Chains A and B, each alone.
Chain A
Amino acid sequence: MVDSKHQWKAWIYLAPAIALLLVFTVWPIINTVRMAFLENYSGLKAAGGQAFAFGLGNFTKVIEYRRFVSCLKNTVLLCVWTVPISTVLALLIAVSLNAIRPLQRTLQTIFFLPYVTNSIAIGMVFAAMFNIVGSFYGTENEIVVTAGIINNIIEFFGGEPVNWINYGSTYTANLTVMIVYIVWNALPFKILVLLGGLQSINKQYYEAARVDGTPRWRVLTRITVPLLSPMLAYVIITSFIDGFKEYTSIVGIFGENMGPPDDAGRLNTMVGFIYDSLSTNSQGRASAAALILFAIILVVTLVNLRISKKRVHY
């Protein structure tokens, strides 16, 4: 504890950071709440000196907006699919990596590589892999040439090529591509965290389990997973939060169109909705949507924490 005489020094050291945080973090949060409750708030109109009435209009507008429900649905669906799949896959990969001796370091590096790659670039590669026709922004009349490696593989095994992301593709196909891409993108960080957790588990628990003749599956479910539960909780909670903020990955695959060429915005998410509102100068509506998103994330995280309190063994 610094004695009170010298506390002013500490305040001086902290001042630049506090000033920046007040201007660029605290005020925007307060301002978002303010704008959300001002009817039809728009930055342009505000600059022109217009006054806005207080009210809940922005929220009703958001909810009644044509695309809002689909944005919410996309966001929730992506979360609900990708979080469990990526967590379970990451767990299995981490456990396997932890079990091997030779090549462990090399494989660890390979599994971590996607993390250091730009996700838009990865998205474009995925788009190319799932492509079905010559050009990405295809039209109905374009000649269909199977170009993507995924369809090549499907055809190699005698299957029918699938229209994943191009003109006329189905919502289910689009969503499948998104889930594969997001899971793949989310794996490296989770593997890293879980592997770190695994390596800190005392080996004697496994020796004890061996002496007790514990079958492998039971070792995983009764020993590894509970001992890893703090890491698992961390991974699940953060990936739900990331999931609700999903946006870049859609841009990565579909571009700004946020959907196949014939149905723009089909895969738009909550964050995408907020950006769209901002680009039409409807800051009030964007703020209201941001608060709704915040409320959803808050509730989901509280539920997560509630569950983890019972399930996590520190």
Chain B
Amino acid sequence: MKVVLQNLTKTFPSRNKKSNEEVVAVSDFSFTIPDGQLIGLLGPSGCGKSTTLYMISGLQKPTSGRIFFGDDDVTELSTENRGIGLVFQNYALYPHMTVKQNILFPLQNLRGADRLSKDEMLDRAQNAARLVQIEELMERKPSELSGGQQQRVAIARALVKMPRVLLLDEPLSNLDARLRLQTREEIRRIQKETRITTVFVTHDQEEAMSISDMIVVMRAGIVQQTGKPQDVYDNPANLFVAKFLGTPPINVFSGRVQGGRLFIGEDAVLDVPDVPDQAVTVGIRPEGFVLDPQGPLRCHPTNVEVMGRDVSIVSTHPAAASPVIRSIINADLRVDISQELVRYALKPHKVFIFSKDTEARIPFEVK
């Protein structure tokens, strides 16, 4: 089921009674979610991603704009008639019911022609449980399950009605690091198996990047960029997106373009012939540094972090926006940080230039 969001806007009345100013949670959000895809809504807390999800679910009404499931306009439709499955951040499993009762609950609510026989219900519940691999837990109470198992039950409960759209609100935030990795693969697998159009919300860019077909990066209610995770990572539209994606985060420097050359401090690091002279912000991905005795960028190394396959050189530079900059280098290269200076050459496609004022990306031709 294709989901179309058209100029979706949601404002809340201000909590401050004195000012009549409204809080804009989501502003003019337009996006088409292709059928059968997994979409990650990504952004820092308060960026409107959850509000967007709740508007798709119908639990919140948009202030303006329309929502379509396929060709049906569902904007005025109430939650229960939209045919969605929603997995809450803390799962919201009914604590007094067993896993089986929890999964059966949505089916027992069906009335009239949709009503299933007892056997059909049990069958559907069993299938949902098998899909998320919790068949042996059916008689347990939610309190007797681990976080990951509760998560699966919540997904099973959302899937048992065979929803047109599956929505997940921060599905992994309550899990520990190991379970998180495992569960996100699981979500990916379930989505692939069911082919249900799925939207999930997260503030964790790694999570979104790793399993989404497409990501939507939001900030303060406004969509910053949409696209395939790798495309967004490789081609950030602005400084915010560049900073938000990637671990370790991108290194930011203040710099300037002068005579077709990009300067960071006093170091002319790249030739950018078609960029007019101006003050700019420069972002360099940690993997964009190459150790080179003749390299133009001179940094003062402070220490080396060994991460197994790679090492990360922590160094400082007077023009850097953050106290330290991190570069990721192949561990095979021995790094001597006792030296005063470490010199880097830069991979041009890992370097982004942003306007100092608008923070928008300034494209440049790589020779």
- What residues of chain A have their CB less than 8 Å away from a CB belonging to chain B? 202, 204-205, 207-208, 210-215, 218, 222-223, 226-227, 229, 313
| Residue from the set A207, A215, A229 with the largest chain B CB neighbour count within 10 Å | A207
Q: Are A313 and B95 in contact (CB under 8 A)?
A: yes
List, in ascending order, chain A residues with CB within 8 A of B96's CB. Answer: 226-227, 229, 313
Q: Are A208 and B80 in contact (CB under 8 A)?
A: no
Q: How far is the CA of A111 from the CA of B95 in the complex (A)?
A: 31
List, in ascending order, chain B residues with CB within 8 A of A223's CB. Answer: 94
Q: Are B94 and A211 in contact (CB under 8 A)?
A: no
Q: What 1/0 flags go to B97-127 for Cβ under 8 Å of A?
A: 0000000011001110000000000000000
List, in ascending order, chain B residues with CB within 8 A of A226's CB. Answer: 94, 96
Q: B83 — nearest CB in chain A belongs to which residue? A: A213
CB distance from B62 to the nearest CB of A (A): 17
Q: Are B106 and A207 in contact (CB under 8 A)?
A: no
User: If the complex has contacts A212-B80, A212-B105, are A207 and B92 also in contact, measured as CB distance less than 8 A?
Assistant: yes
Q: Are B88 and A208 in contact (CB under 8 A)?
A: yes
Question: Which 3 interchain pairs have the tightest Cβ spacing?
Answer: A213-B80, A313-B96, A212-B106
Q: How far is the CA of A208 from the CA of B96 in the complex (A)?
A: 14
Q: Are B110 and A213 in contact (CB under 8 A)?
A: yes
Q: A212 — nearest CB in chain B belongs to which residue? A: B106
Q: Are B95 and A218 in contact (CB under 8 A)?
A: no
Q: Are A210 and B80 in contact (CB under 8 A)?
A: yes
Q: Are B109 and A211 in contact (CB under 8 A)?
A: no
- What residues of chain B have their CB less than 8 Å away from a CB belonging to chain A? 57, 59, 79-81, 84-86, 88, 90, 92, 94-96, 105-106, 109-111, 157, 161
Q: Are B95 and A211 in contact (CB under 8 A)?
A: no
Provide the main secondary structure of the chain A interface. Answer: helix
List, in ascending order, chain A residues with CB within 8 A of B88's CB. Answer: 204, 207-208
CB distance from A198 to the nearest CB of B (A): 15
Q: How far is the CA of A313 from the CA of B143 in the complex (A)?
A: 11
Per a CB cutoff under 8 Å, which of B81, B94, B106 touches A205? B94
Q: How far is the CA of A207 from the CA of B158 in the complex (A)?
A: 13
User: If the complex has contacts A211-B80, A212-B109, are A227 and B85 also in contact, measured as CB distance less than 8 A?
Assistant: no
Per a CB cutoff under 8 Å, which of B86, B90, B110, B111 touches A211? B86
Apart from A207-B86, A211-B79, what are 18 other A-B pairs with CB-CB below 8 Å? A202-B90, A204-B90, A204-B92, A208-B94, A211-B59, A211-B106, A212-B105, A212-B161, A213-B81, A213-B106, A214-B80, A214-B105, A214-B109, A215-B109, A218-B109, A222-B94, A222-B105, A223-B94
List, in ascending order, chain B residues with CB within 8 A of A222's CB. Answer: 94, 105
List, in ascending order, chain B residues with CB within 8 A of A204's CB. Answer: 88, 90, 92
CB distance from B43 to the nearest CB of A (A): 21
List, in ascending order, chain A residues with CB within 8 A of B81's CB. Answer: 213
Q: How far is the CA of A204 from the CA of B157 in the complex (A)?
A: 14
What are 12 contact pairs spanning A and B, CB under 8 A?
A204-B90, A207-B88, A210-B59, A210-B80, A211-B80, A212-B109, A212-B157, A213-B106, A213-B109, A222-B94, A226-B94, A226-B96
List, in ascending order, chain B residues with CB within 8 A of A207's CB. Answer: 59, 86, 88, 92
Q: How far is the CA of A102 from the CA of B210 in the complex (A)?
A: 46
List, in ascending order, chain A residues with CB within 8 A of B106's CB. Answer: 211-213
Q: A215 — nearest CB in chain B belongs to which residue? A: B109
Per a CB cutoff under 8 Å, which of A205, A214, A215, A229 touches B92? A205
Q: Are A208 and B109 in contact (CB under 8 A)?
A: no
Q: B111 — nearest CB in chain A belongs to which residue? A: A215
Q: How far is the CA of A218 from the CA of B105 in the complex (A)?
A: 10
Q: How far is the CA of A210 from the CA of B86 in the complex (A)?
A: 10
Q: Are A211 and B84 in contact (CB under 8 A)?
A: yes
Q: How far is the CA of A205 from the CA of B142 in the complex (A)?
A: 13
CB distance from B309 to the nearest CB of A (A): 41
CB distance from B310 to the nearest CB of A (A): 41
Per a CB cutoff under 8 Å, which of B86, B110, B161 touches A208? B86
Q: A206 — nearest CB in chain B belongs to which residue? A: B92
Q: How far is the CA of A210 from the CA of B95 in the complex (A)?
A: 17
CB distance from A229 to the nearest CB of B (A): 8
List, in ascending order, chain B residues with CB within 8 A of A229's CB. Answer: 96
Q: How far is the CA of A213 from the CA of B109 in the complex (A)?
A: 6
Q: How far is the CA of A204 from the CA of B111 in the complex (A)?
A: 23
Q: B82 — nearest CB in chain A belongs to which residue? A: A211
Q: How far is the CA of A207 from the CA of B60 in the complex (A)?
A: 11
Per a CB cutoff under 8 Å, which of A205, A211, A215, A218 touches B57? A211
CB distance from A200 to the nearest CB of B (A): 13
List, in ascending order, chain B residues with CB within 8 A of A215's CB. Answer: 109, 111
Q: How far is the CA of A207 from the CA of B80 in the complex (A)?
A: 10
List, in ascending order, chain B residues with CB within 8 A of A212's CB. Answer: 80, 105-106, 109, 157, 161
Q: A223 — nearest CB in chain B belongs to which residue? A: B94
List, in ascending order, chain B residues with CB within 8 A of A313's CB. Answer: 95-96
